[in-house]
A and B are shown apart, each in its own frame.
Chain A
Amino acid sequence: MTVELAPPPPGRSAAADRAETRRRRVPYLLLAPGLVWLFIFYVIPLFQLLRMALTTGNLQAGYVFDWVWENFTQVFTTYQPQLLRSLVFALATTMITLLIAYPLAYAIAFRGGRYQSLFLLLLLMPLLFPFLMRTLAWRIILADQGVVVQTLQNIGLLPSNGRLLATGWAVVAGLVYNFLPFMALPIYVSLEKIDNRLIEAANDLYSTPFTAFRKVTLPLSMPGVISGSLLTMIPAAGDYVNVELLGNPQQAMMGNVVQNKFLNIIDYPAAAAISFTLMVAIVILVLVYVRSVGTEDLVA
């Protein structure tokens, strides 16, 4: 290497320019594999799904792409109840899960002491068992002769011939149970990150513990609330297992319709149109939810 003693030439050297170009290219190069992946496994299938939704025909005779929109219109006519139920169940599940998960995560984060990891492990433990088995277990819990129904009947919250299994309550209960860890975990993470000195500072500035929670802890945990809600709401809206195992056809959600069309009736165009519509509906639901819950004060 030689030592340059002369002042640098006016403007930039060609080498510096090349280095600059290379530097700017790096982020794109790093993103490239991900973008290719997304394109092959997300954009193309999505496009195919949309295309399939606009075809007529069946498996034996083949499909013809002819811009038929009937598959979409039937979603809002024939399957309107299922669509609405999906969204209502998803919203209800999200709300109830949030109400249970927030205090739970708060207790673990602020009162867990040295048992925090143990509590987290307990929270995640159910995930070690198959989804199906856990949901089936709820059939026993909510069974007509089970303890829960009997107790509710005894204290008069349920009429003597009332039941839980095969009702919307059972479906929502199953959904809440299954998604609880996915709600609690992100909330725990965002609560755990909060510096205790911020709460002390709020106390110092005339906040009672409740005001400090409302003005500091809660806003700072909103990122966790939002990601937890998304992790709950999106899969819940598309779920069909809980209805299948805990509900009955009267509680069918969009997921059940899709499953039926794809696997039983083998009506791919209808199934595609329903899937696509459900996806758009979920995106709208999520946007509305995030806008109403989140504020511009959100921090990363």
Chain B
Amino acid sequence: MDTRTDIPAVELDGVTKEFADFTAVYELNLAIGENTFFALLGPSGCGKTTTLRMIGGFEDPTTGVIRLHGEDVTGQKPYQRPVNTVFQSYALFPHLTIFENVAFGLRRRGVEDAEVKRRVNEMLELVQLTPFIKRKPKQLSGGQQQRVALARALVNHPRVLLLDEPLGALDLKLRKEMQIELKRIQQEVGITFIHVTHDQEEAMTMADVIAVMHQGRIERMGEPTEIYEDPRTAFVAGFLGASNMMSVTVVDRGSGAVALNGGTRLHIDPSKLDGGDGTVRVGVRPEKLRIYPIDEVSLPPNVLQGTVTDASFIGVSTHYLVEADHIGEIAVVAQNLDDHHHRPGDPVKVGWLPQHCFVVA
């Protein structure tokens, strides 16, 4: 995006948050670019909310500096920051109408009445809530309340919008719709969204950049495809989807040749081998594997031999479990392209390309 500047919209510099008996966020360094849809992804309790609350000004970091568009805001109160939040449980004001909920921020900043009216109506139109303007929050469904919370924050034109699991309370179908909706709104208003979620699919769907958090630290950060294809740690690999992990010994670092326990040679992208020496752990995602009849001759460079133990056909694909020598069970997701349906007990070959392997620390 050409509107991005060099100064990050949000910058965390060595931010640590200690509670009485617990360090929730540890030495966090983070720079989020302008107009980015940024997802903070991690399991429950890893410190996502705490990080978000520090950016919003609801918690002060124990150490470290927080900058918004280059300006140090550490220690500033929430109402002094050009940031708005969509809270986990929406936190709509129960005593105010939908209109007044959305108008709340504008009124506090002394925007004149006609302008408040215009902007609130415009925003309610954007989130398709115009018919509910006079209702109280309790009279709306979960999805509608969620959109009020979004409108209430966005109407202020914040430079950064913080969203704490905003879709967590919605059912699956609505969640999928809102994911697309949120992404559309973000592109329309063109501001930085920091979206906290524990749902990796949600993060992948919406985010330009994902940071995977684990026990108060960011383990991996990058574009969705980049971190999915090369997760770098076992935790990230597992959190972002299924993968087959195996221990191998490096045979030739230059060509990327490695060997399994039983001696079987495999090949991986040599650039991924940089740090590792001796024994390394490599992984490959189930959908990257192809399954072949045992007598197949045109095979990719990496091949394992084994026996099908389970095959489940689920329409778009077939999920196989193959008991391979020296490794154990490996999962294969095969697209239903050809007529080969392998049954449990069939001897098969499983193959993949070297570039589809990743190495984890």
A-to-B contact residues, CB < 8 Å: 195, 197-198, 200-208, 211, 215-216, 219-220, 297-299
Chain A residue at minimal CB-CB distance from B136? A299
With A198-B91, A211-B108 known as contacts, the answer to whether A204 contacts B78 (CB < 8 A) is: yes
A-B contact pairs, 6 of them (CB 8 A): A195-B91, A200-B85, A201-B92, A204-B56, A205-B105, A299-B94
CB neighbours (8 Å) of A206 from chain B are 79, 105, 108-109, 156
- A205→B87 CA distance, assembly (Å): 12
A200 and B156 form a contact (CB under 8 A): no
- A205→B92 CA distance, assembly (Å): 12
- A26→B156 CA distance, assembly (Å): 50
B95 and A203 form a contact (CB under 8 A): no
Q: Which 7 A-B pairs have the closest CB atoms?
A: A205-B105, A201-B91, A206-B108, A197-B91, A203-B78, A206-B79, A299-B95
Interface of chain B residues 56 through 108 with chain A (CB within 8 A): 56-58, 77-79, 83-85, 87, 89, 91-96, 104-105, 108
With A203-B79, A205-B156 known as contacts, the answer to whether A197 contacts B89 (CB < 8 A) is: yes
CB neighbours (8 Å) of A204 from chain B are 56, 58, 78-79, 83-85, 153
Q: Residues of B within 8 Å of A, CB-based: how many?
A: 25
B152 within 8 A of A: yes
CB neighbours (8 Å) of B109 from chain A are 206
B91 and A297 form a contact (CB under 8 A): no
B153 nearest CB across to chain A (Å): 8
- A206→B152 CA distance, assembly (Å): 12
Chain A residue at minimal CB-CB distance from B104? A205
Chain A residue at minimal CB-CB distance from B53? A200
A200 and B87 form a contact (CB under 8 A): yes
- A192→B306 CA distance, assembly (Å): 64
- A299→B87 CA distance, assembly (Å): 22
With A203-B78, A205-B104 known as contacts, the answer to whether A219 contacts B95 (CB < 8 A) is: yes
B163 nearest CB across to chain A (Å): 12
8 Å CB contact of A201 from B57, B85, B95: B85
B56 and A216 form a contact (CB under 8 A): no
Chain B residue at minimal CB-CB distance from A216? B93
Main secondary structure of the interface of B (DSSP, over half): loop
CB neighbours (8 Å) of B84 from chain A are 204-205
With A200-B58, A201-B85 known as contacts, the answer to whether A207 contacts B91 (CB < 8 A) is: no
Chain B residue at minimal CB-CB distance from A298? B95
Given A203-B58, A204-B83, A205-B79, 6 more A-B residue pairs with CB atoms under 8 Å apart are A197-B87, A201-B91, A204-B85, A204-B153, A206-B105, A206-B108
- A249→B337 CA distance, assembly (Å): 103
- A201→B152 CA distance, assembly (Å): 10
CB neighbours (8 Å) of A203 from chain B are 57-58, 77-79
A203 nearest CB across to chain B (Å): 4
Interface of chain B residues 144 through 170 with chain A (CB within 8 A): 152-153, 156
Chain A residue at minimal CB-CB distance from B81? A204
B79 and A207 form a contact (CB under 8 A): yes
- A201→B148 CA distance, assembly (Å): 13
- A205→B82 CA distance, assembly (Å): 10
CB neighbours (8 Å) of B108 from chain A are 205-207, 211, 215
Chain A residue at minimal CB-CB distance from B85? A204
Chain A residue at minimal CB-CB distance from B149? A201
A201 and B93 form a contact (CB under 8 A): yes
B81 nearest CB across to chain A (Å): 9
A220 and B95 form a contact (CB under 8 A): yes
- A259→B95 CA distance, assembly (Å): 44
CB neighbours (8 Å) of A219 from chain B are 95
B180 nearest CB across to chain A (Å): 26
- A54→B83 CA distance, assembly (Å): 70
- A208→B78 CA distance, assembly (Å): 9
Chain A residue at minimal CB-CB distance from B102? A205
CB neighbours (8 Å) of A211 from chain B are 108
- A215→B79 CA distance, assembly (Å): 14
A198 and B93 form a contact (CB under 8 A): yes
- A257→B77 CA distance, assembly (Å): 58
CB neighbours (8 Å) of B56 from chain A are 204
- A216→B107 CA distance, assembly (Å): 14
CB neighbours (8 Å) of A216 from chain B are 93, 95
CB neighbours (8 Å) of A198 from chain B are 91, 93-94
Q: Which of B92, B104, B153 has the most CB of A within 10 A?
A: B104
- A68→B93 CA distance, assembly (Å): 55
A295 nearest CB across to chain B (Å): 9
- A28→B108 CA distance, assembly (Å): 48
CB neighbours (8 Å) of B92 from chain A are 201
Chain A residue at minimal CB-CB distance from B82? A206
Q: Which of A200, A203, A206, A297 has the most CB of B within 10 A?
A: A206
Chain A residue at minimal CB-CB distance from B162? A204
